[in-house]
């Protein structure tokens, strides 16, 4: 279970031992707040379940790329899963080791491949024949051999939102299951590639174990065919995607999830292989909140609106996925609530953060948008020339600025006017 880091103490929401009111006063709003204890507990739930097994944890940088957050995981011994050269640079800057990095992603450029080969990443998760060809050529030009696994699309329904389902035939990701055996033959024949593993990732915010077991069964059957063709498979990468509780979801306990998959792989006779897990949302999601202040209350004939200073550019998930985030008053009022749509100041009808929420609020009150540690700041933008939020990490009774708030001037500091 994630650390219960955001709780009420004497009627005020706290992040660990620090009042959210004091955080908003010191650092302003909108403000992303992360809990070091929650990050640590969520990661260690994976690490404990992997201990003593041939298994390792590679945190998905795309969920939260803040250097201080990544550094918390690096200090705990985490590996990382990246999807760009920029994310590799972040991992290295945060103290991560290249040899514990797996490089996923459907569109790696030649420059990114060179960067990763020179850094010495653990493995490339390759997603197409065309990518195999490019990686072989790039590795050859550098006089290196690239370690590869193929991301195989097992065509398993993860029962999640279509935008974050990635393992079906209709998705852009991975090599089609029926094409995978031939793709492995081709990879094994390329002079500058070394086949080391097999990979899948069926989606995100998955709250059942069964789809993973289905995917693993298909992968292991394929592994047996690949090895019959003469190519050794050293590791099985089961991806990430384990869900969290945003509202009323009941995802499996992390330790149970990890042990169930490892035991299943052992029972199938594949316990000699290493297993990689790539958690993202499940180690960062409930370790963060977004603090925002109410600017106006706007009653209407059909809806009442609570207009806040955070917006879709700060937290894109509601507009993008119709995602639910719990929204709570930082200092609850002892008054009858009204029903509000919580919306931001961005000039779009899609700029909403929560719909039909019962809140007792007044202008100036602080709200906490829960479960904002994953796909929160990392997806934020400067739309409407809005500076991105500050990020802070709370550790016990202290708060540290992980990223200062942007200034408006910095947003166009590199832009130029046309000459006269």
Binding-site residues for pyridoxal 5'-phosphate sit at: 241, 278-281, 375
Using an 8 Å Cβ cutoff, are 278 and 212 in contact?
A: no
**347 tagged catalytic:** yes
Token pair 């006089």: residue: 143
Q: Which two tokens stand for residue 415?
A: 């832009």
Please state the length of the chain.
420
In 3D space, the residue among 348, 357, 368 whose CA is nearest the CA of residue 305 turns out to be: 357
Residues 6 or more apart whose CB falls under 8 angstroms from that of 236 comprise 197, 198, 199, 216, 219, 220, 223, 265, 270, 273, 274, 275, 276
Strands 12-15, 18-19: pairing kind = antiparallel
DSSP states of 179-231 = HHHHHHHHHHH-TTEEEEEEE---BSSB--SHHHHHHHHHHHHHHHHHHHTT-
Using an 8 Å Cβ cutoff, are 339 and 356 in contact?
A: yes
The edge-to-edge listing of strands for the beta sheet with 6-9 is 6-9, 12-15, 18-19
Return binding residues: 241, 278-281, 317, 321, 348, 375
Marked catalytic residue, from 50, 123, 200, 347: 347
Distance CA 144, CA 368 (A): 50
Kindly tell me the sign of the dihedral angle through the C-alpha atoms of 211, 215, 218, 224: negative
Neighbours of 10 (CB within 10 A): 6
CA distances from 263 to 49, 87, 237, 240, 266 (A): 11, 32, 15, 17, 5
Q: Which residues are catalytic?
A: 347
């Amino acid at each position: 279970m994630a650390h219960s880091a955001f709780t009420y103490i004497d009627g005020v929401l706290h992040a660990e031992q620090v009042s959210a009111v004091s955080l908003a006063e010191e650092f302003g709003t909108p403000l992303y707040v992360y809990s070091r204890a929650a990050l640590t507990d969520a990661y260690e739930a994976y690490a404990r379940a992997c201990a003593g097994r041939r298994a390792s944890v590679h945190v998905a940088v795309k969920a939260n790329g803040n250097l201080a957050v990544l550094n918390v995981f690096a200090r705990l011994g985490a590996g990382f899963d990246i999807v760009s050269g920029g994310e590799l640079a972040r991992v290295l800057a945060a103290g991560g080791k290249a040899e514990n990095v797996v490089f996923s992603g459907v569109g790696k450029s030649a420059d990114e491949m060179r960067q990763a080969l020179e850094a010495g990443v653990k493995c490339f998760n390759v997603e197409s024949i065309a990518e195999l060809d490019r990686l072989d050529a790039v590795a050859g030009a550098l006089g290196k051999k690239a370690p590869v696994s193929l991301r195989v699309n097992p065509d398993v329904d993860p029962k999640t939102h279509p935008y974050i389902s990635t393992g079906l035939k209709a998705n852009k990701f991975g090599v089609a299951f029926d094409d995978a055996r031939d793709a492995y033959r081709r990879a094994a024949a390329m002079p500058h590639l070394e086949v080391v593993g097999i990979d899948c990732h069926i989606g995100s915010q998955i709250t059942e174990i069964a789809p993973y077991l289905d995917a693993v069964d298909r992968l292991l059957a394929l592994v047996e065919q690949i090895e019959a063709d003469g190519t050794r498979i050293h590791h099985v990468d089961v991806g990430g995607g384990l869900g969290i509780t945003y509202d009323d979801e009941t995802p499996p306990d992390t330790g149970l999830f990890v042990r169930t998959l490892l035991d299943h792989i052992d029972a199938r006779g594949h316990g000699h292989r290493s297993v990689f897990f790539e958690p993202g949302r499940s180690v960062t999601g409930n370790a963060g909140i977004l603090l925002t202040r109410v600017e106006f209350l706007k009653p209407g004939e059909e809806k009442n609106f609570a207009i806040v200073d955070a917006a879709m550019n700060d937290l894109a998930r509601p507009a993008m996925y119709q995602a639910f985030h719990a929204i709570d008053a930082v200092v609850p009022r002892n008054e009858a609530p009204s029903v509000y749509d919580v919306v931001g100041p961005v000039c779009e009808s899609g700029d909403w953060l929560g719909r039909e929420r019962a809140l007792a609020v007044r202008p100036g009150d602080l709200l906490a948008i829960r479960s904002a540690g994953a796909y929160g700041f990392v997806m934020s933008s400067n739309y409407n020339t809005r500076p991105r939020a500050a990020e802070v990490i709370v550790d016990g009774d202290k708060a540290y600025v992980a990223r200062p708030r942007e200034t408006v001037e910095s947003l166009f500091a590199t832009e130029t006017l046309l000459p006269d």
